[in-house]
């Protein structure tokens, strides 16, 4: 029997159906259009305006752009393209007004003003206006400079008095040479829409601009940040080509030269034409550049027209499928070192094997691409996958069978063979370690002092050695805090192979304790702790260990950093007492400030050389008690910087004396020459 409804229904009729007019939909759900209201979303507005100018350059109509970040928080982008049209539409509004006020209005549809552009959505300029408190657009065209302003999305212009007069009429600013054309857009983001900590990061804009210049040969871009003093304007221009970009991205010694593939093809697609679904032929240009280096990091960047697709898409899938196919059917077909593995069907390379040390760029150019979402991070056009697959397969096969230098082909075969051997050996080693006697009866490392409860509120405290582990175990909340002491240096995961990571006892203890696996198989939901807290001494050795731990997490347990699970404790450097009560200082400056404030002599301060020197009460108060401790959340940027720093630590603290001496001599200009004894 159906259960009777006991709650009276609210009236649900036509009055409940809302239609969001104009740009209201964008302001209601900004995440649908720019990906979110944090820093990423705020910067996406910059990309939308920049990419409009880049499309002009890619189409051959512009050669120079200027981007300025102003002190008042506004962003200005100009180009010397054709200029947004200023003539009127049938409804009496100028095309310039329509572009900034109507979603899906632009010159990138069908056989419009662009044969290939960043996307088919036509919402970029209007979305920027929707999320701006003010926007000023100027167009150089037809011998004059024309201006239209938007105040809270309402079109009009500002009078000399500063008052805003609404209206659709364009202001004729000045006369210019008839040959001069271009567009300038300056907008002020509506900060009420965005998160309080959202910011436009100069380095991110700089990277975007540099990348664009590689994609559009000959385009000159001037970038200036006026938000602070002392930063000079930078100018970017490149001879062009994906090969240059791959060379720019390559770090370390090369295994192969850069392999380039260029293919022009077509595909058929059904699209609405005059209200009816019709089949049209799409031209598609495929450009690929790839090389392998001796390291293990993979860097595959992809683009659709001039838009970077950080999430890949159908073009990247075609590239990866073809590469894996050629490697297994051509390069490793008769590899002697893999014959023993053939008996257990482990002789074929995986995608991860093929991509060890791979630096590649994949770009497809065609009209009206389909993206998954307005932010254009992933290509969705299905038929492009097959075209890229065919082009990559043919080009890579030719390179493998004589098109590439024989010495480099052989070097790549050896690298890929070793990758397969390392992966299989590491997996076998991991299985053995899971059953090893170093694990206690519950499968955890013997040295782990585990907590009783696991989940989002539990913590894994990673400490240096037994000296710090003792006080940490006594001062912790054993209900939710586990302690894992490290008895040796963690392997440098940025330089080590997967097998070397698995063989390292400290790395394996950490991976096992967290319980979520590693690498591509890492499962964040399986993590036994909600916080991973690194407790290291405030000295060089402590910094080294912290770098190595972050490097391991960055390369093999990356979701922990991506989702904010990793923290570094900030232990104090000094301690003293005032009227019997302890006070702590975390820096020399803070100690000096407290000394002046409380009239304390420096000699009264105790300096902690390490966590092991703290008694239980001091350690609990300063690094364990959630109410009084200081933690710093580690980010992906911290992980990347730690990975770079780990290499420097290896030079300065490793056993290779000659390399260390060369480094010191090379960088001797950075230190006091009188202190340098060589």
Q: What is the mean pLDDT of residues 156-175?
A: 92
Do residues 57 and 216 lie in contact, with contact meaning Cβ atoms separated by under 8 Å?
yes
Low-confidence winner among 222-236, 417-431, 477-491, 525-539 (lowest mean pLDDT): 417-431
Give the pLDDT score at 495: 76
Give the pLDDT score at 478: 92
Give the pLDDT score at 669: 54
Tokens of 211: 């990348």
Distance CA(245)–CA(226), nearest Å, equals: 28
Give the pLDDT score at 123: 59
Q: What is the mean pLDDT of residues 429-438?
A: 53
Tokens of 8: 């009276």
Mark whether 225 is an active-site residue: no
Tokens of 303: 């683009």
Going 139 to 141 to 144 to 148, the CA torsion angle's sign is negative
Low-confidence winner among 22-31, 296-305, 494-503 (lowest mean pLDDT): 494-503
Between 341 and 154, name the one with better pLDDT.
154
Do residues 487 and 447 lie in contact, with contact meaning Cβ atoms separated by under 8 Å?
yes
140, 464, 618, 638: the catalytic one is 464
For strand 144-151 and strand 171-175, is the pairing parallel, antiparallel, or unpaired? antiparallel
Domain 455-571+630-658, classified CATH 3.40.190.170, yes or no: no
Q: What is the mean pLDDT of residues 500-518?
A: 86
Burial of 299: CB neighbours in 10 Å, binned 0-12, 13-18, 19+: middle
Q: Which of 545, 343, 341, 532 is nearest to 451 (CA)?
A: 532
Q: Which of 518, 291, 533 is nearest to 409 (CA)?
A: 291
Low-confidence winner among 388-402, 576-590, 651-665 (lowest mean pLDDT): 651-665
Give the pLDDT score at 1: 46
Do residues 480 and 461 lie in contact, with contact meaning Cβ atoms separated by under 8 Å?
no
Give the pLDDT score at 2: 47
Q: How many Cβ atoms from other residues are within 10 Å of residue 402's Cβ? A: 9
pTM for the model = 0.59
The contacts found for 664-668 with CB under 8 angstroms, 24 or more apart, are: none
What is the domain partition of the chain in residue ranges? 24-239, 243-270+279-430, 455-571+630-658
Mark whether 140 is an active-site residue: no
Do residues 573 and 607 lie in contact, with contact meaning Cβ atoms separated by under 8 Å?
yes
Distance CA(548)–CA(551), nearest Å, equals: 5
Give the pLDDT score at 442: 57
Do the domains at 24-239 and 243-270+279-430 have one common CATH topology? no
Q: What is the crossing angle of helices 505-514 and 406-434, to 10°?
A: 60
Give the pLDDT score at 534: 93
Mean pLDDT value across the chain = 84
At residue 122 the predicted structure's pLDDT band, cuts being 50, 70 and 90, is: very low
For strand 75-79 and strand 182-189, is the pairing parallel, antiparallel, or unpaired? antiparallel
For residue 54, pLDDT beyond 60: yes
48, 51, 347, 537: the catalytic one is 537
Distance CA(415)–CA(358), nearest Å, equals: 11
Which residues are CB-contacts of 279 (< 8 A; sequence separation ≥ 6)?
268, 269, 270
Cα dihedral 175, 178, 179, 185, rounded to 10, equals: 40
Q: In the block, which residue shows the tokens 């997490």?
A: 553
Q: What is the mean pLDDT of residues 284-288?
A: 95
CA 489 distance to own-chain centroid: 29
Burial of 437: CB neighbours in 10 Å, binned 0-12, 13-18, 19+: exposed
Name the DSSP letter for residue 526. Answer: G
Do residues 518 and 511 lie in contact, with contact meaning Cβ atoms separated by under 8 Å?
yes
Distance CA(268)–CA(283), nearest Å, equals: 9
Give the pLDDT score at 413: 94
Phi-psi region of 402 (alpha: psi -120 to 50; beta: other; left: phi over 0): left
Distance CA(488)–CA(334), nearest Å, equals: 41
Distance CA(456)–CA(440), nearest Å, equals: 24
Give the pLDDT score at 119: 41
Alpha helices in 59-106 (DSSP H): 95-101
Give the pLDDT score at 109: 37
Give the pLDDT score at 267: 93
Q: What is the mean pLDDT of residues 84-99?
A: 89
Q: Summarize pLDDT for 619-641 with one digit per residue, the tens.
A: 888 889 998 888 999 999 888 88
What topology does CATH give the domain 243-270+279-430?
Answer: Ribosomal Protein S5; domain 2 (3.30.230)
At residue 271 the predicted structure's pLDDT band, cuts being 50, 70 and 90, is: confident
Q: Which of 78, 186, 87 is nearest to 129 (CA)?
A: 186
Distance CA(444)–CA(152), nearest Å, equals: 59
Give percent of the chain with pLDDT exceeding 70.
Answer: 85
CATH for 24-239, among 3.40.720.10, 3.30.565.10, 3.40.50.10800, 3.10.20.30? 3.30.565.10
Give the pLDDT score at 395: 96
Maximum distance among all Cα pairs of the chain, rounded to whole angstroms: 94
Give the pLDDT score at 341: 84
Distance CA(351)–CA(649), nearest Å, equals: 32
For residue 642, pLDDT beyond 70: yes
Distance CA(391)–CA(409), nearest Å, equals: 19
190, 257, 541, 613: the catalytic one is 541
Between 439 and 278, name the one with better pLDDT.
278
24, 431, 479, 539: the catalytic one is 539
For residue 80, pLDDT beyond 80: yes
Tokens of 569: 């404790």
For residue 463, pLDDT beyond 80: yes
Q: Is 195 helix (H, G, I), strand (E, B) or coil?
A: coil
Strand partners, 486: 464
For residue 179, pLDDT beyond 90: yes
Give the pLDDT score at 171: 93
Name the DSSP letter for residue 254. Answer: B
Going 435 to 440 to 441 to 442, the CA torsion angle's sign is negative
At residue 430 the predicted structure's pLDDT band, cuts being 50, 70 and 90, is: low
Mark whether 541 is an active-site residue: yes
Low-confidence winner among 326-330, 404-408, 465-469, 655-659 (lowest mean pLDDT): 655-659
Q: What is the mean pLDDT of residues 413-418?
A: 93
Between 25 and 392, name the one with better pLDDT.
392
For residue 61, pLDDT beyond 50: yes
Mark whether 539 is an active-site residue: yes
Between 473 and 443, name the one with better pLDDT.
473
């Amino acid at each position: 029997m159906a259960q009777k409804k006991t709650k009276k229904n609210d009236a649900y009729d036509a009055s409940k159906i809302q239609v969001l007019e104009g740009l209201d939909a964008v302001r209601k759900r900004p995440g649908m259009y720019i990906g979110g209201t944090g820093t990423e979303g705020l910067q996406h507005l910059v990309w939308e305006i920049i990419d409009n100018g880049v499309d002009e350059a890619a189409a051959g109509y512009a050669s120079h752009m200027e981007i300025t970040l102003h002190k008042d928080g506004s962003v200005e982008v100009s180009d010397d393209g054709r200029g947004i049209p200023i003539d009127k539409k049938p409804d009496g509004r100028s095309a310039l007004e329509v572009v900034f006020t109507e979603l899906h209005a632009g010159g990138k549809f069908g056989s419009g003003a662009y044969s290939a552009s960043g996307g088919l959505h036509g919402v970029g300029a209007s979305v920027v206006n929707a999320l701006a408190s003010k926007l000023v657009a100027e167009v150089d065209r037809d011998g004059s400079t024309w201006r239209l302003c938007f105040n809270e999305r309402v079109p009009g212009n500002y009078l000399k008095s500063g008052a805003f007069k609404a209206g659709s009429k364009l202001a004729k600013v000045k006369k210019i040479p008839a040959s001069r054309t271009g567009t300038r857009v300056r907008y002020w983001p509506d900060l009420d829409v965005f998160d309080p900590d959202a910011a436009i990061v100069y380095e991110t804009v700089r990277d975007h601009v540099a990348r664009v210049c590689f994609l559009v040969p000959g385009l000159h871009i001037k970038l200036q940040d006026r938000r602070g003093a002392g930063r000079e304007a930078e100018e970017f221009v490149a001879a062009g080509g994906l090969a240059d970009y791959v060379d720019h991205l390559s770090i370390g010694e090369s295994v192969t030269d850069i392999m380039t593939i260029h293919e022009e093809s077509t595909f058929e697609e059904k699209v609405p034409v005059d209200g009816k679904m019709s089949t049209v032929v799409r031209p598609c240009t495929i450009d690929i550049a790839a090389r392998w280096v001796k390291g293990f990091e993979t860097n595959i960047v992809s683009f659709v027209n001039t838009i970077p697709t950080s999430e890949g898409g159908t073009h990247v899938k075609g590239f990866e499928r073809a590469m894996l196919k050629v490697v297994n059917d051509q390069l490793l077909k008769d590899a002697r070192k893999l014959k023993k593995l053939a008996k257990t069907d482990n002789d074929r390379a995986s995608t991860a094997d093929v991509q060890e040390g791979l630096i590649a760029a994949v770009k497809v150019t065609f009209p009206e691409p389909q993206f998954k979402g307005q932010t254009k991070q992933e290509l969705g056009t299905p038929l492009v996958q097959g075209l890229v697959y065919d082009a990559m397969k043919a080009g890579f096969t030719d390179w493998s069978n004589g098109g590439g230098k024989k010495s480099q082909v052989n070097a790549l075969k050896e690298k890929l063979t070793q990758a397969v051997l390392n992966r299989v050996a590491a997996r076998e080693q991991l299985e053995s370690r899971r059953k090893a006697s170093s694990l206690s009866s519950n499968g955890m490392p013997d040295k782990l002092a585990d907590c009783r409860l696991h989940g989002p509120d539990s913590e894994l405290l990673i400490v240096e050695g037994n000296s710090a582990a003792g006080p940490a175990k006594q001062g912790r909340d054993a209900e939710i805090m586990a302690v894992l002491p490290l008895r040796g240096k963690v392997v440098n995961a940025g330089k080590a192979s997967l097998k070397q990571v698995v063989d390292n006892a400290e790395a394996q203890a950490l991976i096992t304790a967290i319980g979520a696996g590693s690498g591509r198989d890492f499962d964040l939901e399986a993590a036994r702790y909600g916080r991973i807290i690194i407790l290291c001494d405030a000295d060089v050795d402590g910094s080294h260990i912290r770098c190595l731990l972050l490097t391991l997490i960055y390369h093999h347990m990356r979701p922990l950093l991506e989702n904010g699970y990793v923290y570094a404790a900030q232990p104090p450097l000094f301690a003293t007492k005032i009227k019997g009560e302890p006070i702590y200082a975390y820096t020399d400056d803070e100690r000096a400030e407290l000394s002046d404030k409380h009239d304390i002599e420096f000699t009264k301060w105790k300096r902690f050389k390490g966590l092991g020197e703290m008694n239980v009460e001091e350690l609990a108060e300063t690094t364990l008690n959630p109410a009084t401790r200081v933690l710093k959340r580690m980010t992906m940027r911290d992980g990347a910087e730690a990975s770079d720093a780990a290499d420097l630590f290896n030079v300065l603290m490793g056993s290779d004396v000659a390399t260390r001496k060369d480094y010191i001599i090379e960088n001797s200009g950075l230190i006091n020459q009188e202190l340098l004894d060589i």
